[in-house]
Structure 1
Amino acid sequence: MKRKKHTSAEDEAQIDMTPMLDIVFIMLIFFIVTTSFVKEKGLDVNRPEDNESQTNKPSQALSIRIDENGTIVMGGREVDVRRVVANAQTYLAENVTDTAAIQAHENAEHGLVVEVMNQVKIAGIDKVSVLVKGSS
């Protein structure tokens, strides 16, 4: 009588995984190919182009001070009324602004304040505000 060889349980229980992996890859390819990509609906945004020449700093108003003696001070130095236009244009060349603030003493001559306002408008600044400073 022939004796059967005893085989281990692990040798008899092996399952070939190759066909299952083939099916999984075929299904994966099928789903990738058949997937339809839908473009989401929404508003298109038109963004402005970035200009390096424009600064993100807020514009500062041109500051002019007139004291009770009629002395005009722009940028920390005394200025003659005839030189207000030139100084305002120099300020505009260095800073982007469209406003000027004239701080006048309450005893300053009104004609001088009006003349300074006119000179600033000639220089190209349209928005001019006048602040009256009292003698307190």
Structure 2
Amino acid sequence: MRSIRSTRQRSRGSTELNIAPLIDMVFILLIFFLVTTSFVKESGVEVKRPAAQTAEEQKTTLIIGVTSANRVYMEGKPIDVRAVQAHVERFALKNPGANVVIAADKESRSGTVIQVLDACRLAGVRDVAVAASRPG
């Protein structure tokens, strides 16, 4: 009878769970996901993009939004159309070879979109595109 009790007492005391390797693994996964995550800059406004048969997905660096009320947004902040060139010049200096995408609402005036496009080109950025979505 003693041998059974002593075996039970010994087995109760030795049940430990070592979670140090588990914590190490979680931190390694966290670092992996942080390093491999790509962050996309958005214009900061919701726009309804017009459909285009030739729409292509591109990696973008800077997105400028034009709403249906013809307001211009950059990185979530409203800016004046006349200030677009200065903002894009500063951005292009920090990011050589940068590209710009203009996400214009389909209800926005083409004149405002052309002003933004012209300001981007005057700022020295040659790779400027207008965002569209594929139909369907």
Task: Give the TM-score, by structure 1 length.
Answer: 0.51
Normalized per residue, the structure richer in strand is: 1
CA–CA distance in structure 2, aligned partners of residues 79 and 122 of structure 1 = 17
Deviations 1:27-58 (A, max 9, x none): xxxxxxxxxxxxxxxxxxxxxxxxxxxxxx9x
CA–CA distance in structure 1, aligned partners of residues 132 and 109 of structure 2 = 12
Provide the residue aligned with 2:85 in structure 1.
Answer: 85
CA–CA distance in structure 1, aligned partners of residues 96 and 76 of structure 2 = 19
**Cα distance, 1:96 vs. partner?**
2.8
CA–CA distance in structure 2, aligned partners of residues 132 and 66 of structure 1 = 13
Provide the residue aligned with 1:69 in structure 2.
Answer: 69
Unaligned runs of 5+ in 1: 1-56
> RMSD of the TM alignment (CA)?
2.0
CA–CA distance in structure 2, aligned partners of residues 95 and 76 of structure 1 = 19
% same residue: 25
Greater radius of gyration (CA): 1
Q: Which runs of 4+ in 1 moved over 6 A?
A: none
**Cα distance, 1:97 vs. partner?**
3.1
Unaligned runs of 5+ in 2: 1-37, 39-58
Task: Give the TM-score, by structure 2 length.
Answer: 0.51
Normalized per residue, the structure richer in helix is: 2
Aligned residues: 76
Bigger relative contact order, structure 1 or 2 (CA pairs below 8 A, ≥6 apart): 2
